Amino acid sequence: MPRSCTACNKTQPRFSREYSGKVLSITHRREKQDMKIGCVKEIKNNEFRVGLTPDNVKSYVAAGHHVYIEMGAGIGSGFADEEYVAAGASLLEDPREIWQLVDMMVKVKEPLPEEYPLFRDGLILYTYLHLAADREQMDALLAGKVKAVAYETLTETDGSLPLLAPMSQIAGRLAVQEGAKYLEKTYGGRGVLLAGVPGTPKANVVVLGGGTVGTNACKIAVGMGANVTVLDISLKRLEQLDDMFGSRVQTLVSNDANVERAVLDADLVIGAVLIPGGSTPKLFKKAYLTEMKPGAVFVDVAIDQGGCGETSRVTMHDDPIFVEDGIVHYCVGNMPGAVARTSTIALTNATLRYGMQIANKGLEAAIAESDVIASGINCYDGKVCCKNLADSFDDIEYVDVKTLV
């Protein structure tokens, strides 16, 4: 039987499906496709998230767009190819074909060097980028004249970071979970249980930064029964945390003296510092290591922006820790990838709204109409359009994207 198309309000033929065991495809005939949207499988080490869910595909297709998905892209998050087909996507086997076909590529993590040759003039890239810690990627985006829209810098009118928030929530909660694990003696930790038991001391957890990551880290650490201290430069934010947690959390102004005292007494330190689009300040000093408790753990959630520890370096899920001067460092750059199903749903719940604005209006019109969309533009036509990003490099000039569209 024919079926109705909600995008064009006309009766359309049934979807046609072909499945040979290798290629799964779908054709939905429309008089007009406004934008071609693409999503490929993430190739970063142990990254199982995906940029679009089948429900996202339905939304784009209903608005008149065409969506291309790489075969197997959603499997790591629990979404089968058949679900994307049922949602109206076209599945392709070769990711290079998708990169070349689409107007906008929707991802989760930044492209890796093997994907740089696929950059091209005018391509919209909608994903996490974290360019302040990745000059090579930034230079490739500029050279390719890619229109790079970064999740982590898109800022709402109230100052919130709606596309960073869901992953920050997950990373903050995971930081305590992972820190508690690596405090175990078998991993080189102190052999301390966060909550202790009657007659033994609780672990001391120090959270550097009281934003979304820090707040969620506090929630889990308090829930696990630890002694928790949180530091932030904003007195207003400390007041909010005091109202939220009361006597269960010690709040301190973040300065060198307070950070040092707190860290030296800590069993677990969580780095939760953020400058949107910019390099992270190094609050966790190398000099602290030899004075800290042997086997203490440092979880640097800020590592994807360069890290807030002087001794931090990026690690991967398959080799997540290293020990320096007796302190266990956990510096995984894509922490939420460990809980891919939860992370994908949480992320795409947030990204769809702004992705639809870009697809429906076109990027240039969306920028002209919305300061929120404009705030997400990191690179455009070979120029850097994020001030915090430009300020992270001595030789990069900031250009307001609204002067370019």
User: 140 and 65, same structural domain?
Assistant: yes
Q: What is the pTM of this model?
A: 0.83
| pLDDT(70) > 90 | yes
Choose one of 333, 356, 387: the last residue of a domain.
333
3-state helix, strand, coil in the chain (%, to 5): 40, 20, 40
Q: Considering the domain boundaries, does residue 242 fall inside one?
A: yes
Say whether 28 is catalytic: no
> Where residue 339 falls among pLDDT bands split at 50, 70, 90?
very high
User: 272 and 250, same structural domain?
Assistant: yes
* Domains: count for the chain: 2
HEC string for 139-169: HHHHHCCCEEEEHHHCCCCCCCCCCCHHHHH
Average pLDDT of the residues in 149-167: 96
| pLDDT(384) > 80 | yes
Alpha-carbon distance 355 to 330, whole Å? 33
Q: Are 361 and 355 in contact (CB under 8 A)?
A: no
Average pLDDT, the chain: 92
* CATH code, domain carrying 304: 3.40.50.720
Tokens of 240: 């909010």
How high is the pLDDT of residue 374? 98
Burial, 18: exposed, middle or buried (Cβ in 10 Å; 0-12, 13-18, 19+)? exposed
HEC string for 82-144: HHHHHHCCEEECCHHHHHHHCCEEECCCCCCHHHHHHCCCCCEEEECCCHHHCHHHHHHHHHC
Residue 198 belongs to what domain range? 165-333
Catalytic residue among 28, 232, 304, 329: 304
Say whether 394 is catalytic: no
Catalytic residue among 28, 130, 232, 267: 130
Q: Considering the domain boundaries, does residue 159 fall inside one?
A: no
| pLDDT(8) > 60 | no
Q: Considering the domain boundaries, does residue 248 fall inside one?
A: yes
User: 320 and 206, same structural domain?
Assistant: yes
User: 121 and 29, same structural domain?
Assistant: yes
